[in-house]
Amino acid sequence: MNAIIGQPVSRVDGPAKVTGHATYAAEFDLPGLVHAAMVVAPIPRGHIRSVDTAAAERAPGVLAILTHENAPRLPYHQIPQRPQVDAQSGEQLHVLQDAEVRFNGQPVAVAVAETLEQAVHAAELVRIDYARTPALTIFDPARGRPPSEGNVKAGRVPELGRGEAEAALAAAPVRVEARYTHPREHHNAIEPHVTIAHWEGEHLTLYDKTQWVDNDRKEIAHVFGIPEERIRVVSPFVGGAFGSALRTWPHVTLAAMAAQRVGRPVRLELTRRQLYTSIGFRPHSEQHVALGATKDGRLSALKHEVIQQVGRYEEYAETVLSPTSHLYSCPNLLARYRLVEMDTNSPCPMRAPGVVTGVLGLEMAMDELAVELNIDPLELRLRNYAETDEQKGLPWSSKELRACYATAAERFGWSRRRPEPRSMREGDQLVGYGMATAIYHSDRSAATASVALTGNGGAVVRSASSDMGPGTYTSMTQVAAETLGLPLEQVRFELGDTNLPYAPVHGGSVTMASLGNAIVAACGAAQKKLADLARAAQQGPFSGLPSEAVAFHGGGLARADGSGSVVPYAELLRQHNLGWLEAEGSAQPGEETKKYSSAAFGAVFVEVRVDEALGTVRVPRIIGAYDVGRVINPKTARSQCIGGMVGGLGMALEERADWDARFGRVMNANLAEYLVPVNADIGVTEAIFVPNDDRNFNPLGVKGLAEVAICGVAPAIANAVWHATGRRIRQLPITPDVLL
C-alpha cells in the first residue's frame, strides 16, 4: 500500500489560492451588500459627553450611524465554561452599550453606507466630545508586587513549584539572576480581520475570519441572546492569523448589529491601524529568572517570576510558566505569575502564547549560567535533561530532545564554536553562535468528522476546522486518503463551516492530534457501515461472513484471509443502490493524559553576524531539529518550522509596538513602521525532524507542530549576540541603537 502519510505533498488548496479561486471572508459577494466603517476612541479612558451624527447621517449613501445612543441593548449572556482562548474572568468588551471609553481604539460608532468609501467618509463626520479621566498607560512591573495593590492580579496559575526554591537558591554555590523583557507585539497577518453579517429573518450567517467557527457562533449567540442553531459561521480560508482569530472580537458583533439595523448584508473590515486595537496582541512582559547550580552544572534552584500587562475589563492570562515547570531537572522550583492592569485593549494568544515568553527568559538565563560555570551551553542543557516531567510527576509520552540536540548541533557545526565571546570574526563582522531549547506542551481536544464514500469512488471528509496556513486541508486529506486506501486526488476535505461536524480550536498546535484522529475514526466508521451492509446482503462475496472475516485493503473490501478479490467502495455502493454512504467518527483525549505528560521539543542553533560600526545583527543561519512525534507532511511541516524561525527572528531583532503613554496608543500601527522580517533579513533556515511516533499520546502518533517552532529562536539569537559581542542584551528587540 502506498504510504501517503509522511509524503511531502504540495498543498491541495494551493492552486485555488494562487488563482484567486479561494474565497476569503471579505470576498463573499452577497446581493445588496453594504459596508460599515468604525469610529474609534482617541483617548485611553473616559466617557463620551455627546455625539453629533447629523453631518454623517446627511452624507451620500449613508444608511445608518450606530452609536451607544441608538444601538440595540444586547443581553451579552456569559458563556459557561469559557474556552481557554477566551479571557477567564471579567467580561468581553460590550460594544455601543454605554458611554464609557475603556481604551484608545475602542469602537464608539459605526457608519453604514452603500459603498466602503461612503462609509469611511461618514465615519469621519461623526463628532464626539469626550471627557478624559486619568488612565494607567505605563507598564510598570513594580506594581506587579505585592498583590495587595489595586491594579495587580494574580494570574490564573499564580504560583507553582516544588521543593524549597528560595533556600536552595541562597545555598547554591553558583548563581545567576537577571531580568528580561519583551515589548507589546502584534500579529500582523496580511489578511485583515473582516466579517460579513447577513440576517435572513431570525437566522444570521457570518462570513468571518476565524480560527474556530464553532466558538464564533457560540459567542455571538450569547451576545445576542439567540439560540446557536440560528447562526451559521462560514470561514473556508484564513489569510494568516497567528492566534488573532482564536477569539471573537467586538467588530463581529458590530457587523451583526449593523446588518440587523439596515436590513442588508453588511461587511465590516478593520483597517490596518484598527488591527492594533480591535483585536488582541502579545502582552508586554518582564521576567526575573534566578538559577542556582552546583559547580558541575546541575540546577539546584530555579525561580522564575513573570509580570505581564492586561486590560481592565477582562483577564487574559498566559501559560508562561509551563516550560519552566518541566523543561529541566531541578528539585527546587518556584514560578510566579502576575498581571498588571492597564487601560488598554485586551491581549490575546499570539504565536506560542506565553510559552515563547517563558522560554525566552529561561533559555537566556541558562546561557548566562553556562558562562558563569564555564560549561558549553549545550552541555549544560544535557546535564540537566529532564527524564520525566518533574512538576506533574509523570513520564513523557515520548521525548527525543537528546536526538534534537545532537542532530542540530552536528548539522550546525556547534563544535567549531570557540567559547570566549568576541573570539570569532569574519572580516569586519563579529560572528556569534547561540543555541536554545524549544518546548511546547502537546494537547488534544474532542473532535468529530464525517466521511462520505461517494459513488464515483472517492470520499468527502468534513469537519468544522480551519486552515490559517499550516496546511490543514492538505494534511487531513492525507490522513483520510491513507486510512481509506484511496489516492489523494480521490479525497476532498471540507472545513470552516458550523454546518460541519464539530472541531476544536485551530490553535495551540492541537489540530492534527485532535481532528486527525477523529478523521481516522470516521473513516473506520464509514468502512464498518459499508462492510456491515456487504455482510448482511443476501448475496455477494461477503454475504453472511462474520465481521472479523472481512477487511479493507487498497480502497475496497476483501476477505481477511486474502482469498478472493478486493471490491472497491464504489462497487459496493452500486451493489446496494447507494449514491453515497456517510458516517461520523470522533476522538477525544482519554486516560493517557493521566499517565503521561506530552510536549513537542526542539533544539535551535543560530549564527549571527554583528557589525559593530552599524549595530546591525544579521542571521545567516538558523538550524532547528524537532521532535514533533510523527510528521504527516514533511513539506508543510518544514514550512511551519521556517515560519516559526522567521517569527522568532522578528521577536529577537525587530518587532515592537512603540507606545505613546500619553494617549495609550501604538504609534507605529502600520506595516511600514512596525518591523517584521522580510526576505532580505532571512538567510538559511533549516528544519530537521528527528524520528518519533508518539502512540502514547494519540493513535496517529503526532504531537502537534506549530508553536514549538517559534520557541527558542529569540533566545538563541540573543545568546548568539552575546557570543559575538560579549554584550548581554536582555531587552528585546535587539535593535541597532541598542548595540551601538
Catalytic residues: 707
Please give the C-alpha separations between residue 274 and each of 38, 228, 279, 449, in angstroms, as whole numbers. Answer: 9, 28, 8, 36
Using rule CB under 6 A, residue 317 touches ligand MOS: no
DSSP secondary structure code for residue 548 in this structure: G
DSSP secondary structure code for residue 327 in this structure: S
Residue 507 vs 664, nearer CB to ligand MOS: 507
What is the distance between the alpha carbons of residues 724 and 712, in angstroms, rounded to a whole number?
18
Residue 193 vs 417, nearer CB to ligand MOS: 193
- Single-letter code of the amino acid located at 129: D
Cell numbers given for 37: 466603517
Taking the complex as a whole, how short is the minimal distance between the CB of residue 321 and ligand MOS, in angstroms?
Answer: 17
The CA-based diameter of the chain, rounded to the nearest angstrom, is: 86
Using rule CB under 6 A, residue 507 touches ligand MOS: yes
CA-based R_g, the chain, Å: 27
Residue 182 vs 351, nearer CB to ligand MOS: 351
Distance of CA 283 to the CA centre of its chain: 15
Using rule CB under 6 A, residue 632 touches ligand MOS: no
- Taking residue 287's Cβ as centre, other Cβ atoms within 10 Å add up to 28
For residues 102, 106, 108 and 111, what is the CA-based torsion angle, rounded to 10 degrees?
A: 180
Query: Which region, judged by CB under 6 A, interacts with ligand MOS, from 240-248, 390-398, 532-540, 710-718?
Result: 240-248
Residue 102 vs 351, nearer CB to ligand MOS: 351
Residue 83 vs 664, nearer CB to ligand MOS: 83
What is the distance between the alpha carbons of residues 738 and 725, in angstroms, rounded to a whole number?
12
What is the distance between the alpha carbons of residues 518 and 502, in angstroms, rounded to a whole number?
10
> Binding residue for ligand MOS (CB under 6 A) from 349, 358, 504, 555?
349
Angle at 503 between CA 593 and CA 244, to 5 degrees: 95
Query: Which region, judged by CB under 6 A, interacts with ligand MOS, from 36-44, 349-357, 443-451, 695-703?
Result: 349-357
* CA atoms 427, 428, 430, 431: torsion sign: negative
Taking the complex as a whole, how short is the minimal distance between the CB of residue 529 and ligand MOS, in angstroms?
Answer: 35
Residue 123 vs 352, nearer CB to ligand MOS: 352
Under rule CB under 6 A, which residues in 245-264 are in contact with ligand MOS? 246
Residue 185 vs 694, nearer CB to ligand MOS: 185
> Binding residue for ligand MOS (CB under 6 A) from 144, 155, 183, 508?
508
Taking the complex as a whole, how short is the minimal distance between the CB of residue 483 and ligand MOS, in angstroms?
Answer: 26
Axis crossing angle, helix 713-725 with helix 634-653, rounded to the nearest 10: 50
- Single-letter code of the amino acid located at 172: A
Using rule CB under 6 A, residue 704 touches ligand MOS: no
Burial (CB count <10 Å: 0-12, 13-18, 19+), residue 8: exposed
Query: Which region, judged by CB under 6 A, interacts with ligand MOS, from 238-246, 264-272, 301-309, 400-408?
Result: 238-246
Taking the complex as a whole, how short is the minimal distance between the CB of residue 735 and ligand MOS, in angstroms?
Answer: 24
> Binding residue for ligand MOS (CB under 6 A) from 239, 353, 458, 624?
353
Query: Which region, judged by CB under 6 A, interacts with ligand MOS, from 30-38, 217-225, 347-355, 726-734?
Result: 347-355
Taking the complex as a whole, how short is the minimal distance between the CB of residue 159 and ligand MOS, in angstroms?
Answer: 24
Query: Which region, judged by CB under 6 A, interacts with ligand MOS, from 134-142, 236-244, 290-298, 413-421?
Result: 236-244
Taking the complex as a whole, how short is the minimal distance between the CB of residue 510 and ligand MOS, in angstroms?
Answer: 8
Distance of CA 583 to the CA centre of its chain: 30
| Residue 435 near residue 604, CB atoms below 8 Å | yes
Cell numbers given for 692: 518519533
| Buried residues in 497-530 as b, exposed as e (16+ CB within 10 A) | bbebbbbbbbbbbbbbbbbbbbbbbbbbbbbeeb
Taking the complex as a whole, how short is the minimal distance between the CB of residue 211 and ligand MOS, in angstroms?
Answer: 6
Residue 440 vs 542, nearer CB to ligand MOS: 440
Query: Which region, judged by CB under 6 A, interacts with ligand MOS, from 42-50, 109-117, 223-231, 345-353?
Result: 345-353
Consecutive H or E run containing 162: strand 152-162
Cell numbers given for 561: 484471509
Using rule CB under 6 A, residue 350 touches ligand MOS: yes
> Binding residue for ligand MOS (CB under 6 A) from 141, 243, 504, 704?
243
Which residue minimizes CB distance to ligand MOS?
243
| Residue 113 near residue 59, CB atoms below 8 Å | yes
Residue 339 vs 348, nearer CB to ligand MOS: 348
Residues that bind ligand MOS (CB under 6 A): 211, 241-243, 246, 349-351, 353, 507-508
